[in-house]
Amino acid sequence: MKPLQSLAEQAKRILAANAMGAWTKPAPRLYPHQWNWDSAFIALGLAHYNLERAKTEIRSLLRGQWRNGMIPHIIYNPDRLGYFPDPHVWQISRSPTAPRDVLTSGITQPPMITIAAREIVRREPSAGFAREIYPALLSYHRWFHRERDPHGDGLVSIIHPWESGMDNSPRWLEILQTIQLAARPAYKREDDVLVPASERPTDSDYDHFIFLMNLARDLNYDQREIVEHSPFVVQDVLLNSILYCADDSLRELAVMVGEPSQEIEGWMQSTRRAFQKKLWDDGDGMYYDFDIRGASLIKENTIAAFMPLYAGLADDARARRLVENHLLNPAEYAPDSSTRFRVPTASKTNAYFDPRNYWRGPIWMNANWFILHGLKRYGYSGLASQIREDTLALVERKGFHEYFDPRTGEGYGTDMFSWSAALVIDLVQNAA
């Protein structure tokens, strides 16, 4: 068997080991429940060899959908509590729209589910699955555009760093530091026992995470109230890029099932306009998140800036500046004598860059996957295939870790990480 095929076979074994029946946990011990965007990446991998199982992964994620349309970021496994925060902390029954029979968190994550669903549907001979899931997906997208963009600005907001998927990214620090906590919230973490504390968010990060979580809970998950009162309301470049792609996927599904698509096209048009006007900084040649409370761009140089390439939201001139001045710049993201592997999740020039800590600099499989798709879209196919090869080599050498140190290529966080496995399968199948 060719080495890449055997890597894909190992990846399949990891997904099988993490499978919990109808859904897959992100990792054996650190993440024992179902996570929203993890399951979507997992479904993308499964779709290559077990379409039925990929559909089940999507269906099981829809189990947790709230009546207002939100798909939560965690669906809990009631038989395996012991992850912090557990359902008692979220208390979702405070919301009249939360499910009564499924335990979930009270916030969401980037809607990769629709992108994964489209990949599945493209492989299906009939429109049956598309017809089955379309109403639930439409209701999720309507929730985003209605509840998280109450003024019709064209960009939705996240109300918790966990919603970005990049929990402790340098992008959130300035806002978090402005939040004065009257007292430290009481809680007991479990994550920093399973993985060395130096590779996880700090206690101070967690104090703020819990504060924001309690705030949403105390407002009974009323989205308008949260968006109006929370100190953390951010138009995130990453989530808006993914939502734009997901809207595009939803539009494709609408056409396939014979439903009208004008509403979706309207969202896409406003997002395109707002993205260019509001999130681009021409001086730096970068896309940045917008802090609604502070009414300003969050000028942190991180990998999120390249997400508009994945979404196709940058014009050619901006794409060129992003790639040539930043991605290929050895002082920022390209390899140099200090970092031999790519792509670090924060620029080496970022004051908070930390090559071993979670979303502050390590290489993540999904981030590289987004980047190489973005590069292909803008014609940088040579660079895209190089990143694909480097990414696969990293896993081949060190295993299916959660993240990797860009200086040494060493793997950190949890091992047997499901989305690393799923995206390896996708990368092996789809030669760049």
Q: Which of 35, 172, 211, 306 touches ligand 2M8 (CB under 6 A)? A: 35
Exposure string over 44-71, b if 16+ CB within 10 A, otherwise e? bbbbbeebebbbbbbbbbbebbbebbbb
Three-state secondary-structure class, residue 36: helix
| 198 and 209 Cβ atoms separated by less than 8 Å | no
User: Among residues 37 and 333, whose Cβ is nearest to ligand 2M8?
Assistant: 37
Query: How many residues form the binding site for ligand 2M8 (CB under 6 A)?
Result: 10
- Ramachandran angles phi, psi of 288, nearest 5°: -130, 160
Q: Which of 129, 162, 267, 287 touches ligand 2M8 (CB under 6 A)? A: 162
Is 402 an annotated catalytic residue? yes
Q: Choose the binding region for ligand 2M8 from 12-20, 32-40, 135-143, 283-291 (rule: CB under 6 A).
A: 32-40
Report, in Å, the least distance between residue 29 CB and ligand 2M8: 12
Is 190 an annotated catalytic residue? no
Report, in Å, the least distance between residue 73 CB and ligand 2M8: 6
Q: Which of 165, 344, 362, 374 touches ligand 2M8 (CB under 6 A)? A: 165
Q: Report which of 278, 285, 314 is spatially closest to residue 301, judged by C-alpha positions.
A: 285
| 85 and 216 Cβ atoms separated by less than 8 Å | no
Q: Does 41 bind ligand 2M8 (CB under 6 A)?
A: no
- DSSP letter at 412 equals E
Q: Does 37 bind ligand 2M8 (CB under 6 A)?
A: yes
Q: Report which of 385, 411, 111, 138 is spatially closest to residue 252, judged by C-alpha positions.
A: 138
- Ramachandran angles phi, psi of 369, nearest 5°: -65, -45
Report, in Å, the least distance between residue 195 CB and ligand 2M8: 10
Report, in Å, the least distance between residue 79 CB and ligand 2M8: 19
Q: Does 199 bind ligand 2M8 (CB under 6 A)?
A: no
Determine which helix (DSSP H) or strand (DSSP E) holds 402, and give its type and residue range: none
Marked catalytic residue, from 57, 289, 291, 402 = 402
| 271 and 240 Cβ atoms separated by less than 8 Å | yes
User: Among residues 367 and 392, whose Cβ is nearest to ligand 2M8?
Assistant: 367
| 91 and 225 Cβ atoms separated by less than 8 Å | no
E-state strands within 230-327:
234-235, 280-281, 286-287, 289-291, 296-298
Q: Report which of 396, 294, 403, 387 is spatially closest to residue 346, judged by C-alpha positions.
A: 403
Q: Does 344 bind ligand 2M8 (CB under 6 A)?
A: no
Q: Does 192 bind ligand 2M8 (CB under 6 A)?
A: no
- DSSP letter at 411 equals E
Q: Choose the binding region for ligand 2M8 from 162-170, 237-245, 305-313, 331-339 (rule: CB under 6 A).
A: 162-170
Residues 397-426 that bind ligand 2M8 (CB under 6 A): none
Marked catalytic residue, from 119, 124, 132, 167 = 167
Q: Report which of 321, 315, 317 is spatially closest to residue 286, judged by C-alpha positions.
A: 321
- DSSP letter at 280 equals E
User: Among residues 154 and 355, whose Cβ is nearest to ligand 2M8?
Assistant: 355
Q: Which of 86, 191, 284, 389 touches ligand 2M8 (CB under 6 A)? A: 191
Distance of CA 376 to the CA centre of its chain: 20
Residues 65-84 that bind ligand 2M8 (CB under 6 A): 73
Determine which helix (DSSP H) or strand (DSSP E) holds 139, and give its type and residue range: helix 128-147
Partnered with residue 74 across adjacent β-strands are 35
Report, in Å, the least distance between residue 143 CB and ligand 2M8: 19
Q: Choose the binding region for ligand 2M8 from 15-23, 33-41, 342-350, 424-432 (rule: CB under 6 A).
A: 33-41
Q: Does 26 bind ligand 2M8 (CB under 6 A)?
A: yes
Q: Choose the binding region for ligand 2M8 from 35-43, 92-100, 215-223, 322-330 (rule: CB under 6 A).
A: 35-43
Q: Does 205 bind ligand 2M8 (CB under 6 A)?
A: no
Three-state secondary-structure class, residue 346: strand
Q: Which of 23, 31, 306, 378 touches ligand 2M8 (CB under 6 A)? A: 31
- Ramachandran angles phi, psi of 35, nearest 5°: -105, 145
Q: From its phi and psi, is residue 361 left (phi > 0), alpha (psi between -120 and 50) or beta?
A: left
Q: Does 167 bind ligand 2M8 (CB under 6 A)?
A: yes
User: Among residues 242 and 322, whose Cβ is nearest to ligand 2M8?
Assistant: 242
Interface ranges with ligand 2M8 (CB under 6 A): 26, 31, 35, 37-38, 73, 162, 165, 167, 191
Residues carrying an active site annotation: 167, 402
